[in-house]
Amino acid sequence: MKNLKSFMVLLIAQLLLAGVVFASEIKTFNQEEFDEAKKSGDVILLDFYATWCPTCKKQQPIIKEVLSQEQFSSVVAFKVDYDSATDLKAEYKIPRQSTLVVLKGDQEKGRSIAPTTKEAITELLNKGF
């Protein structure tokens, strides 16, 4: 059992070092972190999400899967509460929930309303690079 545990730890470490395992976190929107990401010139994903929205629920595992890819490991992703982020919705002219916006720093590079395929979300995120 000890050898199996040691083997698993070694395997995970090797995968991490080889860049095979990627983890992009989707953060709850925070204005300070958002401002810092814009200032740093990061690629940013704003996911205008509502808990009651079936399309938003469908998007979540797909967004997570796409963000786990190596080419998107540097994306700073924020889940924005559609129902309470009134000022941010007005600033970015968000017409409805399930809208995704990609920024590079403070410049908008792309947006999509209700994309639910891996291909569409990948294409959208690529606009930030």
Q: Please give the positions annotated as active site.
A: 53, 56
Q: How far apart are the C-alpha atoms of 107 and 44, rounded to whole Å?
A: 10
Write out the H or E segment, with its range, that includes residue 40. Answer: helix 31-40
Distance CA 111, CA 100 (A): 5
Per DSSP, the three-state class of 96 is coil
Retrieve residue 90's tokens.
């007005």
* Dist CA 62 CA 7 (whole Å): 31
Give how far the C-alpha of residue 23 lies from the chain's centroid of Cα atoms, to the nearest Å.
10
Cα torsion 96, 97, 102, 103: sign: positive
